[in-house]
Amino acid sequence: MFQVLCPTVFLLSGYFLTGQPCDLFRLLLMWAMCLLLTMIGQTLGLVAGAAFDSQLGVFLVAASTIPMFMFSGFFMHLSDIPFYLRWLSRVSYFRYAFEAAMLSMYGFERENLDCSVPYCHYKSPTKLLEDMGMAHSSYALDIVALVVWVLVLQAVFYVVLRWRLRVSR
């Protein structure tokens, strides 16, 4: 229940407060990404809670989340990441969530953004996606990657629970 309610309330408030278009298609695309990211976060917490004591689990979740966020493309463009570290962006669930969010808001042939000054560099949503290195990204691929993350973490959670049961006997 809360796994759906909390991201929905967060999304609805944030979506309309940031002046996004009243477009149900875009809202549903963003909602799907938020739900998947919520499932990843919850399952990651469950895995850490089942595998470790609470103090170590809290530390490890935070420590494992930082590199995922660093290599998501949010702080630095993916093209600016050194080639020997680019593999980290390929395994970052935040990267796929960030791409899906950007594509749901600025992709799918969105009309030009409103601009009250004579020159707006990002009046065209396509220009924004190009500069972010996401012009050729695929929303469907991002969602598939997030679903794979959910499934892998669920499988890891199952294995950890089985291991805990075997150890406790």
Question: Identity (one letter) of the amino acid at 100?
Answer: A
Q: Looking at the whole model, is its pTM more than 0.85?
A: yes
Kindly list the distances between the CA atom of residue 32 and the CA atoms of 4, 8, 48, 150, in Å, as whole numbers in the listed order.
10, 10, 25, 13
Residue 55, domain extent? 2-168
DSSP string, 96-136: HHHHHHHHHHH-SSPPPPP-SSS--TTSSHHHHHHHTT-TT
The pLDDT assigned to 112 comes to: 86
For the chain, how many structural domains are there in total?
1
**Tens digit of pLDDT for each residue in 98-140?**
999 999 999 898 888 888 888 888 888 888 898 888 888 999 9
State the Cα–Cα distance between residues 29 and 140, nearest whole angstrom. 10
Among the listed residues 91, 98, 67, 110, the one whose alpha carbon sits nearest the alpha carbon of residue 148 = 91
